[in-house]
Amino acid sequence: MNIKIDKKDDIVLKLLHYFITEEDYKPVIINGLENEIWLENMEKDLKLIRINNNYIHNDEQLKNDTYKVKVIMKSIKKSTLSLHMNILNLLLDASEYVNVKGAKDIETIKIDKLRDIKKNKVVKEFFPKIKDAELSDKTDPIEFFKLTSDMNQKTMKNERKLAKIFSQKKPTLTYLFIVINIMVYLFMLLYDKTGELAYKLANNYVLVRNGEYYRIFTSAFLHTNFLHLFFNMYALYMIGPQVERYYGKFKYFIIYFASAILGGLFSCVFMENNVYSLGASGAIFGLLGSVAYFTYYYRATLQGLRNSPVIPVILANLLLGFFIPNVDVFAHIGGLIAGLLISMAIGIGDKARKNDTINGVIVITLIYLFMLYMLLNK
């Protein structure tokens, strides 16, 4: 049986194979497009690749095609909240009379043979491994099927990783935190009718400054009344399982307590000296911060942040804190910052990036040290 493979199809397949299996790009689903394929990798300096198999017959058509690329890029940039985005625009069927020009953040290359892309300076800059890649211009039906199989296996491997992260898991730590908070509240309700225990454990700058540092931690398990407890535990019940599922139990534990402590430090430093602060909201805002970081990290997989409620929830709760009396908004801010930076430092699953980890550790350490300095020198 003779199998004929079109030259352009062969080039497309080999380019897809290289970018998907070697550079970890993933296809982007864009409705209404024909004969072109978009790939994305938000972790790369070059975030988008477009392989265009449509015929470009003159400069005017190239100009219109470049405009279309800009519009799609703008949409992807907006949906992923990316500050900067660039693209490698590969034209596989452009007339010899077309004067190929790039544009801002768009590197356009006309490809007749695969060796054209391997020689390109921009491509070699972004993809140093491509010089050693097996991108032969020879068409081989057996290789065609092998490349297809490789891409399918790579896609299935990525899908299994995503399934593991997003799969439902029993949120035992979340339930444990809720039970502890409820038990502490019930104990205070039944055995601390005068509120003496609350004053011994609540957060207060003067008392913490005098050496009672444990208050920064213990105050995160105290609540003033049933409504205070109910709203915090409801928020924990809604948000906690997501963080526990995305990050795993150990990292969730770190995020929760690191956020509670930094929220307590912010409260100590910025609240008035005679004010007592208590509640789990600093830790809960830390969980919101960790969900925001996760959503941003997987913004392409999750179809962008615009469809996610986490950002509006954070902004609404922060704004409400400024208008509702007796709300410790500084604990909210401190917890949120901790949640974001701790999540960056500890990473998500097996995708922790070294630069993010280093930056997260450095920044969160500096913030903790600065807040301790402020606490001791206010």
Q: How many CB atoms lie within 10 A of CB 358?
A: 12
Q: What is the pLDDT of residue 254?
A: 96
Q: What is the pLDDT of residue 304?
A: 47
Q: What is the pLDDT of residue 305?
A: 44
Q: What is the pLDDT of residue 144?
A: 57
Rounded Cα distance, 158 and 196, in Å = 55
Closest CA to 286 of 319, 251, 320: 251
* Beta pairing class for 87-91 and 36-40: unpaired
Q: Write the CB contacts of 58 (distance below 8 Å, at least 6 apart in sequence).
A: 95, 97, 98
Concatenated DSSP letters of 197-227: HHHHHSB-HHHHHTT-TTHHHHGGG--SSHH
Q: What is the pLDDT of residue 342?
A: 95
Q: What is the pLDDT of residue 30?
A: 78
Q: What is the pLDDT of residue 145?
A: 63
Q: 283: which 2 tokens? A: 């830790």
Q: What is the pLDDT of residue 316?
A: 65
Query: Which residues are 153's β-sheet partners?
Result: none
Q: What is the pLDDT of residue 1?
A: 44
Q: What is the pLDDT of residue 142?
A: 57
pLDDT in tens, the chain (378 residues): 445 556 777 788 888 888 888 888 888 877 778 888 899 888 888 899 999 988 888 889 989 989 999 998 888 887 777 788 899 999 988 888 888 877 888 999 888 887 778 788 888 888 888 877 777 656 555 565 666 676 667 777 766 766 676 677 789 999 999 999 999 999 999 888 777 888 899 999 999 999 999 999 999 999 988 988 998 998 899 899 989 988 999 999 999 999 999 999 999 999 888 889 999 999 999 999 998 888 877 776 655 444 555 566 666 666 666 666 677 889 999 999 999 999 999 988 666 678 888 999 999 999 999 999 999 887
Q: What is the pLDDT of residue 32?
A: 76
Q: Write the CB contacts of 204 (distance below 8 Å, at least 6 apart in sequence).
A: 215, 268, 273, 274, 275, 276, 277
- Asked if 295 and 310 count as a contact pair (C-beta separation under 8 A), the reply is yes
Q: What is the pLDDT of residue 10?
A: 76
Q: Which residue has the tokens 């990316």?
A: 82
Closest CA to 106 of 122, 82, 83: 122
- Asked if 260 and 217 count as a contact pair (C-beta separation under 8 A), the reply is yes
